[in-house]
Copies of this chain bind each other. A is one copy, B any other.
Amino acid sequence: MSVSASPTPLLGDRLCENGYECVKILPATNDAHGGVIVDLKEPMDSELFATLLRSSLLHWKKQGKDGVWIKLPIELVNLVETAVKEGFWYHHAEPNYLMLVYWIPKTGCTIPPNASHCVGVGAIVLNDKKEVLVVQEKRGGFHGIGVWKIPTGVVDAGEEIFEAAIREVKEETGIDTEFMEVLAFRHTHNSFFGKSDLSFVCMLRPLSFDIKKQDLEIEAAQWMPFEEFADQPFNQMHEPFKYMIELCLAKVENGYDGFSPRPVSSYFVEELNCLYLNSHDLDNTS
């Protein structure tokens, strides 16, 4: 589902039926699921908006539409209360807009939920001397407990997991890397306002070695002998971190197979996207 700009006039469409009725309705485009999308961009008085919204809802109901989406830029915040008073509720918000929805039919609402997950990466960068690239952070849960940790960060919407891992390592330590594999991923819940979190443990190969640490978030960065990294009491005491070390050893010493990205073209999405799979096993069998 996409929200596209409407080609219609600022203050609503004039709708004439049978040459008699003549009401104004809000400019809207059809979505692919039987609903309509109103993508308002220009300022409007809230009373005019209320009038247009009521006649629009009647019109869409007659047309047999189901879901109604209204995207209000933050500049049009004066219209939010009106929409809610007409029965709309919030679907999602981003810094610069609020998306409201309404369901016309009496039957069950099938409007899909808002984004449910944040996605993160942790990057294990191991050099030929079996040293791991580690940092200490200036804030957050790891701050002040003396633990050397691997670089971690957030995967942005629209960003590939492998790109995010390479970017975070570069940003925090200045080290260039090549992506190898996702060794594992972790699913946690209630991490941020009731949302869940998927965090991908990635293995990368360093392509440069001189650390230039970022000052804003990173207190210190270094190459640390793997045994010393693994032996930190924190890593030994906490299951996910202990597993991370075991996975890393299994990868280096015993050929553990993780998932690696493979670009695939798609039927439903225009852009190229990635399938992450066990390349070693698949290529050995096909």
Point out residues on A near B: beta carbons under 8 Å. 1-3, 33, 74, 77-78, 80-81, 84-85, 89-99, 108, 110, 112-119, 139-141, 154-161, 183-196, 198, 216, 234, 238-241, 243, 246-247, 249-250, 253-259, 261-262, 264-269, 271, 273-278, 281-282, 284-286
Contacts and interface: CB of A to CB of B under 8 A. Distances in A.
A117 B185 CA distance: 15
A112 B139 CA distance: 13
A256 B285 contact: yes
Contacts of A246: 282, 286
B238 A267 contact: yes
Given A115-B118, A188-B273, 20 more contacts: A77-B80, A77-B81, A81-B81, A90-B93, A92-B193, A99-B193, A112-B192, A117-B117, A186-B273, A189-B271, A191-B269, A240-B264, A240-B275, A243-B275, A243-B277, A247-B277, A249-B285, A250-B281, A254-B281, A259-B259
Nearest to A253: B285
A258 B253 CA distance: 20
Contact of A269 (B85, B189, B241): B189
Given A189-B269, A247-B277, A95 B89 contact: yes
A89 to B, nearest CB: 5
A119 B200 CA distance: 14
Contact of A196 (B139, B158, B239): B158
B285 A257 contact: no
A196 B271 CA distance: 12
B238 A157 contact: no
